[in-house]
Chains A and B, each alone.
Chain A
Amino acid sequence: MTLSGRLLVIVLIQTLVLAGMIAKCQWTLASGTPVVLKTQPIDPRSLFRGDYVTFNYEISRLKLNELEGEDEFRRHDTIYVVLKPGEPYWRAHAVYRAPPPGQLALRGTVQYVADYWWNPQTGASEAMPHINVRYGIEDYFVPEGEGRVLERPVAGEEISLRVAVDRFGNGAIQALLINGVERYRETLF
């Protein structure tokens, strides 16, 4: 193969990989079902890339005895969390290892499994089998300097995210809402 041919192969492969990343997100954003998830910003970081906020969703920690589906999970398992609409936020309804047919489910990875959890209301540790899940939609990049504002919402402000969930379980952040009003919105290109 000539030098030009080999360079073309490299450029094509690398471009396809990057285009694939974009296409997957665009497809999820365009075709996914929008769900609004309750969240709490927990960890804004200032990197050289700009500010980003890490969100801890209500569905990031799942109490297994309150959900339908399977009960036995291990660290690094891929799981599908069935979501049902609520008022105003969508909630976890069931959790499975395989994609449940005909139901809207968000795919995640089990970070850890625990039998006890600390109840902030009673200040005590209680028996509660639960799993902590990462969905790949925890980080949200914002313009430089605005991460701190989101980290410390003023009293009464509630932050939520509208997430598009496609039929394969992929999630993509569509908008960041404060008290139900859009603050940042992702557009197609």
Chain B
Amino acid sequence: MSFKKQLEQRLPHWVEQGWVSADSATRILQDTAAGERHGPRYVALAFSLLGVILIGSGVITFFAANWAAMPKLLKLGVLFSALWGSYVLAGVFERRQLPLLATAMLLLGVILFGSNIMLIAQIYHISAHYPDGVLVWALGGVLTGWLLRSQPAMVAGLGLGVLWTGLESHGFGREVHWPFLLFLAVSVWPVVQLRWRIALHMALAGLLLWSGFAFVAMSGWDYRDSAAIYLVQVYFLAYLALFLAGMLLQGRHGAQALAHTLQRYAAFAALGSLYLLTFPDLLRHARHAHLAWWLVTLAALLLVVALAAWHYRRTAGVMRPPFLNWGLGLLAAALLLLLVNLAAERHLAALLALLFNLLYFAGLLWLLRAAVHLEHRALVNMAFFFFAITLLARYFDTFWSLMDRSLFFMGGGLLLLGGGYWLERQRRRLTQQIAGQREGGA
């Protein structure tokens, strides 16, 4: 239902209650109708961006066709003129109150900056470590986004940053590409300040991708095969800390959407890490804790405790919903179990796996409760997704060797059908509850 139709339905009630005068109601409807006549902004933005991409492609193919025939100085003149021209046009459009075209020109400027880096490298036969060129391009995008308040330019800059770390991690076999975290920290600061949700999605997706690259590199380190266990624990704690940061952000005025985005990615990675710890096969590796792992794990533990304490202090003066206290208990149990797991003997793997499974399912229940309280539908869906895959994993672990194959598959099928139906009903019930809460609060 469109915003105008919703208003048409609700305004008479608001007028009846005396919250809005009849005159104001008419003006609100007129203003909304005028806004809708201009069409949705995103269509215009999509067309502008498409136009920019076509212009960029045209410029590059023009060069490709005529490159050899152009003298070096002319090539450089064309490159610089195109770059300057796009920024000048951005300024002109902004002054003429055409913000979409201005945004499109800024994005064109970012694209041309990158193509100029590549083409100058071609003119001078520069072939040294090309990810550096991608980094410079990414920084150009981030700087443009930040200084000129352009989210598309920032998203482009962040996307290029992700490409940079991908090239460094895979194309050049760097073990762990730490500089990406510095790039991300610098870029995310203006993203949070300016409340840019799409850019935050890009930054967090980049962080998850980098975590995957780093995990592959670090789990192969020669601290024998226990490196993976410690690494998963550190990942769990780090993303738990990020989730807590999202809870803290939730309390800031106007930052709820950003907090939801942050919580979504953090919960996904934290649950994914904890999910790995529910497998006895992983826990069966012998522990050879290098001092560095102890230090890193303790640092991550302290960070989680500090953030939880900060959140507790913030909510101590107000009515604390019960799920927060329940969450503190769960957190204490999780931290204790992680510490025990650092030095546990391998023969305790089955017991540890059982405890991690209990913690994991309790965590999922807590997440569902928190999601309803925070009015976060994505978290509900995520909790059900993890619940379903873990249920299946445990079914395979438990019954694969115990049951006859035909019975196993029939049982699995029934579990999928029955469990899927039940889970979907519960999921719908909770998401409808959240929608109801939102409408009630609106």
Contacts and interface: CB of A to CB of B under 8 A. Distances in A.
A141 interface: yes
Interface string B113-151: 100111111111111110000001000100110011000
A97 B109 CA distance: 40
16 contacts: A6-B147, A10-B109, A10-B144, A10-B147, A11-B87, A18-B117, A48-B61, A48-B64, A49-B64, A50-B64, A136-B127, A139-B127, A186-B124, A187-B72, A189-B72, A189-B73
A76 interface: yes
A33 interface: no
A25 to B, nearest CB: 4
B140 A14 contact: yes
B84 interface: yes
B68 A143 contact: yes
Contacts of B87: 7, 10-11
Interface centre among A10, A15, A22, A189 (most CB of B within 10 A): A10
Interface string A1-19: 0011011011101110110
A189 B75 CA distance: 10
B76 interface: yes
Given A4-B91, A137-B127, A21 B76 contact: no
A21 B120 contact: yes
A73 to B, nearest CB: 15
B125 A10 contact: no
A139 B129 CA distance: 12
Given A76-B174, A137-B125, A49 B118 contact: yes
A9 B144 CA distance: 9
Interface in A4-47: 4, 6-7, 9-11, 13-15, 17-18, 21-22, 25
Interface of B: 60-61, 63-64, 67-68, 72-73, 76, 79-80, 83-84, 87-88, 90-91, 94-95, 109, 113, 116-129, 136, 140, 143-144, 147-148, 172-174
B91 A3 contact: yes
A48 B24 CA distance: 59
Contacts of A14: 83, 109, 113, 140
Given A13-B143, A139-B127, A141-B125, A48 B60 contact: yes
A136 B68 contact: no
A146 B337 CA distance: 66
Given A13-B140, A17-B136, A21-B121, 10 more contacts: A10-B143, A10-B147, A17-B117, A17-B140, A18-B79, A49-B64, A109-B129, A137-B125, A140-B125, A172-B125
Nearest to B71: A189
A136 B79 CA distance: 23
A187 B72 CA distance: 9
A18 B122 contact: no
Contacts of A4: 91
B66 to A, nearest CB: 10
Interface of B is mostly: helix
A172 B127 CA distance: 10
A104 B122 CA distance: 26
A75 interface: yes
Contacts, number: 97
Contacts of A189: 72-73, 76
Given A18-B117, A50-B64, A139 B72 contact: no
Contacts of A95: none
A71 interface: no
A50 B67 contact: yes
Interface centre among A6, A139, A141, A186 (most CB of B within 10 A): A141
B67 A22 contact: no
Nearest to B122: A141
Interface string A114-143: 000000000000000000001111111101
Contact of A3 (B95, B128, B172): B95
A173 interface: yes
Contacts of A7: 87-88, 90-91, 148
B68 A50 contact: yes
A158 interface: no
A144 interface: yes
A136 B148 contact: no
Contacts of B173: 75
A65 to B, nearest CB: 26
B305 to A, nearest CB: 37
A4 to B, nearest CB: 6
A18 B127 contact: no
A22 B122 contact: no
Interface in A42-75: 48-50, 52, 75
A137 B127 CA distance: 6
When A and B form their complex, which 6 residue pairs have the shortest distance between CB atoms, in order from nearest? Answer: A136-B128, A139-B127, A143-B68, A25-B124, A6-B147, A189-B73
